[in-house]
Amino acid sequence: MLVQDIRRFLEELRESKTIIPCDKRLSAILQEHFSHRESHEELTSNDIQFVLQCFSERWIADSECDYLLYPSQANQVWIKLAHEIEPFTDKNYLQILLPHITNQFDFNNLTPLTETVRLENFYLGYDGKTLYRKRGLCERLLDNQFELSTCRTLKTKQCEVMTIEELTRLYRGKYCNGEFSIDKEKFDNFWDFLYKKTFPRMQSKGEIPLEVLPHLLMLIESYYHLKNSGADIKLFTAEIHKFFKLLYQFKLENINFLYGVKILYHGKEYYLLELFVLINMAQSYDIDEQLKAIMSWLYQFNPILKASNKGLLSFYAELEPKLHSEGHLEKRVETGTDNLLYRTKIFLVSLFVTPFEVFPFSGKTISFWDINNVIFSEGEKIYNQFAPFLMTNKLDILIAIYKKTIEEHIIPCQKNKHIYKWLTHYQSTEDWYQLVETGGLSKLDVYWFDPELILHGLAHFRLINKSLGEKIVNFLDELIHTYAQNNNEFQIQLRVNILFSRFLKSLDEHQRRKLILTLSLFDPVEAKSKFLTNCIHYVTNRLCQISMHQLDSSPNFFGTYQCIDSKKLLINKTDVKQVSAILEAFKEMLHSLEERCNPEQLENMLIFLRNISRPILTVAEIEEAQQSARVIDYIGAPT
């Protein structure tokens, strides 16, 4: 290869319709490097390496320099040069043009990448280092009943999710792909093939991963917040990538099911996948229409999925009547008794989780089971009316007491605020009275959920909120512990909800809202039916976690750890009808493993089971036990 070939390449590059900044810079560098050379001189090995370095600097994925997406005149000139210089190197033309690519075979059909010549018939993988042939993906789809998936290694044929980043590249590449046919069926381009053959089948199995929907809603809220504050679009782009990364943690069939959601907006039908692609391509705050299409679907799916931005109030005001008229929204039918029961429950929870401010020495302590709270004196009188009936499980009596409390305590205090304020002094108590009357205790983060739903929802929530893992585990341990007791159903539910409200208060505002939204999306009936199964799964996972131990005894920063195989922790599910029976079954099972289990592992697991199955003492029992303990003097001798 001669110097004149490089000069001819530079001339062809200058003749391109549009010369991008990158090519201007590289042209100047090459011109300078060969400026003092004769045209008939052959390129030296150093010259070849210099040109290869220019190739390395030029390729930037998803930019104008991306040969896979833009068949521009300038890109074709560089591709031509790669073919010309290939014989003088130990690389093929793909390795010259795309130096960061690490594979030589297509993972989808195990064929050499070099079987494809035209660069636009490739697409770049999610990691930015793997190259795929569109033909390879097509063959994979044909062999797998058009299930949208890909393979990411030569070692296994495991199906992996097609990411939005990859689909975006396929979408952008539709403008440079020609027509082709399969079994006489014609397609305009590869995206057209996907749209007609693959997208309609995305919901053939799986289900919507409900726990991701609050994250999607908050992504939309983030867009409007950043847009209205004039923030750089890169901040929203980072939020987009964070959301997609979270989405990819779910099962393939569930991601595909979400991709396959159809949304009708302004007379046009979209797949949710298409909207994700358009959002991923955003270079400025100009995707309002796409986001509003998603917002309309979320609100239609469940009205609780409503963006909180004040600027969107008019959007929902226009949307709601339309969805009602089309039958997409159904108002929940709730009886007066149901509403009163819920208000009674959260009223009782509020007494134990509200941090009431009181005058020094004027506070009164109320207690339920092992939980207590310091409360204002009037609040103690109110609670004492409920206390004797918490042990009876008679909800109708509790509702009657609640109605009486509202009429005799709450409403009168609200009508005589000047007297009331003088008596109580503190704003926290005044706010509590007002929120009780208006039914707004949720503003104090006081809620009531069926414990079965809490367990079911948190098991899903925990998977994509790993930073909260320890807090969630500590709470769920207490939930299982509570259900291991012989107390009546209402007592168990009340203790769990008091602890849950305290757990909520330990979260930041965004985490708290995501969790409440998530729980509101799951079906309480389904959660109840799966409760014992969920308990068994949870205890099994906890035992596996607790059993983890270091394989070698010597201290080693990079020591190897191992936990017991969950397949060994099997119990007979047919005989267990209560949580206490589940825990006893696990204890018996562990004792049967004594000879095959590490003694330290076994002891740690049994300690855990004993702790969450032991009786929960009441406040009075705890105080009595403390008072009856031996008194020790200052030098440690019994007195």
Q: 73-89 pLDDT, tens per residue?
A: 999 999 999 999 999 99
Candidate from 308-312, 331-335, 403-407 with smallest mean pLDDT: 331-335
Tens-place pLDDT, residues 24-74 = 999 999 999 999 999 999 999 999 999 999 999 999 999 999 999 998 999
Q: Which amino acid is at 115?
A: E
Token duo for residue 379: 């609040």
Tally the domains of the chain. Answer: 5
Structural domain contains residue 12: yes
Structural domain contains residue 15: yes
pLDDT band (50, 70, 90) for residue 327: low
Last residue within a domain, chosen from 201, 223, 255: 201
Token look-up 């007592």 returns 491
Structural domain contains residue 301: yes
Last residue within a domain, chosen from 325, 349, 379: 325
566: Cα separation from own chain's centroid:
25
pLDDT averaged over every residue in the chain:
89
CB 350 within 8 A of CB 436: yes
Candidate from 399-403, 471-475, 544-548 with smallest mean pLDDT: 544-548
Residue 180: how many other CB atoms lie within 10 Å: 16
Tens-place pLDDT, residues 136-175 = 999 999 999 999 999 998 887 789 999 999 999 999 987 7
Residues 366 and 388 in one domain: yes
pLDDT at position 331 over 60: no
pLDDT at position 561 over 90: no
Residues 550 and 638 in one domain: yes
For residues 216-223, average pLDDT: 98
Residues 317 and 356 in one domain: no
Residues 375 and 429 in one domain: yes
Q: Which of 86, 84, 2 is nearest to 42 (CA)?
A: 2
Residues 345 and 304 in one domain: no
- Report d(CA 240, CA 413) in Å as an integer: 49
DSSP classification of residue 468: G
Structural domain contains residue 487: no
CB 450 within 8 A of CB 500: no
For residues 272-280, average pLDDT: 98
Q: Which amino acid is at 566?
A: S
Residues 303 and 370 in one domain: no
Between 467 and 417, residue with greater pLDDT: 467
Model pLDDT, residue 332: 45
Structural domain contains residue 485: no
Structural domain contains residue 457: no
Residues 214 and 320 in one domain: yes
pLDDT band (50, 70, 90) for residue 329: low
Residue 69: give the domain boundaries: 3-97
Terminal CA-to-CA distance of the chain, rounded, Å?
102
Residues 535 and 615 in one domain: yes
Last residue within a domain, chosen from 276, 295, 325: 325
Tens-place pLDDT, residues 579-628 = 999 999 999 988 888 777 788 888 999 999 999 999 999 999 998 888 87
Residues 152 and 223 in one domain: no
Structural domain contains residue 450: no
Burial class (CB in 10 A: 0-12, 13-18, 19+), 521: middle
DSSP classification of residue 630: P
Structural domain contains residue 464: no
Model pLDDT, residue 359: 79
Residues 312 and 242 in one domain: yes
- Report d(CA 283, CA 272) in Å as an integer: 19
Residues 139 and 240 in one domain: no
Residues 29 and 79 in one domain: yes
